[in-house]
Amino acid sequence: MSTLVIVGTQWGDEGKGKIVDLLTGRADVVVRFQGGNNAGHTLKVAGEEIIVHLIPSGILYPNTLNIIANGLVVDPGVLLEEKSALRAKGYFQSDEQLLISERAQVIMPYHKVIDHGREELLGNAKIGTTGRGIGPAYEDKASRMGIRMGDLIRPERLKERINAAIDEKNFLIEHRFKKPRLDPEQVLEQYLDYGRQLQAHITDTTHVLHQRISGGSRVLFEGAQGTLLDIDHGTYPFVTSSNVVAGNVCCGSGVSPDRLDQILGVVKAYSTRVGQGGFPTELDNELGESIRARGAEYGATTGRPRRCGWLDLVILNHSVRLNGVSGIAVTKLDVLTGISPLKICTAYELDGQPLDRVPADIGDLERVKPRYREVKGWEEHLSDCRSFDDLPKNARDYVETIEHLTGVPVTLVSVGPARDQSILRKSPF
Ligand code: IMP
């Protein structure tokens, strides 16, 4: 048995999709355990760019089992669209490649109306959500009003569950958000149809996972978003609505903590964030714009420009501790070519006092001043480097500074979007 958890250590968009895709070649099962189609994992294979939002990145390998586990909120319409888009490109040719937990929550049409409606009403105070209905779907899970994937294949149950929820939702939609009411019959028909189309995939994935792990399968857990978007440990309220840290693999998939072997934290060589919220090392200037342009930093899900800034080791160390990171993957190191000096934030200052952790209060996070260590940049292009020794000295120093200041080995360095533009120093499997 061998398991590996891959998590983002910043605000998402660290390049986890590529790392998962790369390591999936060595895995038998790939599992998503939280979030929904707010994620956007960009994969580049044989010159072609493929973006998946909901289906685990392992879908590009025909012999890998992919699992959407109980911790997700699933939009069945999006799932079906993603499935046919992948099929049209020659992937996902067998239904057996994907299992969906019958315990996973379903994103309903009213969740999307409420997500958009709230953001509109919040105006400047908005969270900047992806608008996919993620938060309202998780709210219903907690209030026991949720509909689960297993309900979609049980018509009487589905009818009961929709009827139990729809009056309250329509009240909000009509009176609070001033939008047209939803017709419960239409919603029922549409979701029964989704159930028919997805029936082959819906099962007890916890049981399957227990069997596969006991049978010696190598299992990779694919995190979505990033640690600073975790609902408890992130920059609340500017966070997503699930726990994204490695500990949530257990709740989100039903695998016990003693089964988790390695935790790989993915860190982009600089920082980015989409949506609102504090960002201490943000470069709200020409340099930030130039990093955005070189790194193509536009949201994979919403297309929004990402805010860019220097690497922040206060954030990274927070993530290392929360996730129990045992190895680090540094991505997009190539994007920093030509910038010198480079800055790495090693501590904050709050009201003149040094601070070496992420403050819980969003106002404090907005006020902290980063303390930087300057390091020399490099001029060489990195995209053809295939071993650590191929990297120019200053790029190696940059990576070693991360190792030194976190105490965690950098086991993988990515120097471009393609699978082979990777330096695997130590394989986690
Ligand atoms: P939600 O997850 O759609 O509710 O959005 C909440 C916050 O999380 C917003 O700031 C989003 O931009 C951010 N967010 C959600 N998913 C991702 C992701 O996969 N990458 C980066 N940011 C994300």
* CATH (domain of 169): 1.10.300.10
41 carries an active-site annotation: yes
Instruction: Say if residue 247 is in the same domain as residue 276.
Output: no
Rounded to whole angstroms, how far apart are CA atoms 209 and 2?
Answer: 12
Q: Tell me, yes or no, if 201 is annotated catalytic.
A: no
pLDDT at 381: 97
Question: Quick one: 150 and 284 in the same domain?
Answer: no
- 284 and 414 part of one domain: yes
Residue nearest to atom 16 of ligand 1 (CA): 38
What does the pLDDT look like over 380-403, one tens digit per residue? 999 999 999 999 999 999 999 999
Query: CA–CA distance from 366 to each of 224, 284, 344, 351 (Å)?
Result: 25, 14, 18, 12
Q: Measured from the CB, is residue 127 less than 6 Å from ligand 1? A: yes
Is 429 contained in some domain?
A: no
Question: How many alpha carbons lie under 13 Å from residue 355 in its C-beta half-sphere?
Answer: 19
Ligand 1 proximity of 132 Cβ (cutoff 6 Å): yes
362 and 236 inside one domain: no
- Give the whole-angstrom CA distance, residue 237 versus residue 234: 8
Residue 90: Cβ within 10 Å count: 10
How far is ligand 1, taken at its centre, from the CA of residue 238, in Å? Answer: 9
Q: Residue 1: is its pLDDT beyond 70?
A: no
Q: Which two tokens stand for residue 195?
A: 């159930």
Predicted confidence band of residue 283 (pLDDT cuts 50, 70, 90): very high
Mean per-residue pLDDT for 236-251? 97
Q: Is residue 283 part of a domain?
A: yes
Q: In the beta sheet, which residues pair with residue 73?
A: 105
* Claim to verify: residue 289 and residue 383 sit in the same structural domain: yes
Same domain, 73 and 112: no
Q: Does one domain contain both 226 and 118?
A: no
Which residue, of 223, 241, 262, is where some domain finishes? 262
Please tell me if the CB atom of residue 305 comes closer than 6 angstroms to any atom of ligand 1: no
Confidence at 207, pLDDT banded by 50, 70, 90: very high
C-alpha 358 to ligand 1 mean position (Å): 19
Which of 225, 231, 266, 272 for a ligand 1 pocket mutation test, highest count of atoms within 8 Å of Cβ?
A: 225
pLDDT number for residue 275 = 85
SS (H, E, C) the chain: CEEEEEEECCCCCCCHHHHHHHHHCCCCEEEECCECCCCCEEEEECCEEEEECCCCHHHHCCCCEEEECCCEEECHHHHHHHHHHHHHCCCCCCHHHEEEECCCEECCHHHHHHHHHHHHHHHHHCCCCCCCCHHHHHHHHHCCCCCEHHHHHCHHHHHHHHHHHHHHHHHHHHHHCCCCCCCHHHHHHHHHHHHHHHHHHEECHHHHHHHHHHCCCEEEEECCCCHHHCCCCCCCCCCCCCCCCCCHHHHHHCCCHHHCCEEEEEEECCEEECCCCCCCCECCCHHHHHHHHHCCCECCCCCCECEEECEEHHHHHHHHHHHCCCEEEEECHHHHCCCCCEEEEEEEEECCEEECCCCCCHHHHHHCEEEEEEECCCCCCCCCCCCHHHCCHHHHHHHHHHHHHHCCCEEEEECCCECCCEEECCCCC
- Quick: pLDDT tens for 23-51: 998 999 999 999 999 998 888 788 888 88
**Position 325 in a domain:** yes
- Of 60, 71, 53, the C-alpha closest to 5 is 71
Q: Which atom of ligand 1 has the smallest separation from the CA of 275?
A: 10
Please tell me whether residues 395 and 247 are part of one structural domain: no
Which residue, judged by its Cα, is nearest atom 1 of ligand 1?
Answer: 129
Say if ligand 1 is within 6 A of residue 300 CB: no
User: Among 229, 262, 295, which residue terminates a domain?
Assistant: 262
Domain count, the chain: 3
Same-domain pairing of 253 and 395: no
Nearest to 137 by CA among 183, 105, 161: 105
R_g of the chain, CA atoms, integer Å: 22
User: 324: Cβ–Cβ under 8 A, 6 or more apart, which residues?
Assistant: 246, 263
% of residues, the chain, pLDDT over 90? 91
- Among residues 237, 262, 287, the one where a domain terminates is 262
43 inside domain: yes
Q: What is the mean pLDDT of residues 147-162?
A: 98
Q: What range defines the domain where residue 22 resides?
A: 2-103+202-262
Report helix angle 184-198 to 155-171, nearest 10: 140
Closest C-alpha residue for ligand 1 atom 9? 129
User: Does 161 map to a domain?
Assistant: yes
400 lies in some domain = yes
Residue range 217-242, pLDDT digits in tens:
999 999 999 999 999 999 999 999 99
In Å, how far are 94, 115, 295, 334, 407 from 416, measured between CA atoms?
A: 30, 35, 10, 7, 25
118 and 16, same structural domain? no
Is residue 371 in a domain?
yes
Which domain CATH number covers 315? 3.90.170.10
| 131 and 39 part of one domain | no
Token duo for residue 18: 């590529």
Q: How confident is the model at residue 301 (pLDDT cuts 50, 70, 90)?
A: confident
Residue 403 and residue 314 in one domain: yes
* Residue 350 domain-assigned (yes or no): yes
- pLDDT, mean of residues 90-94: 96
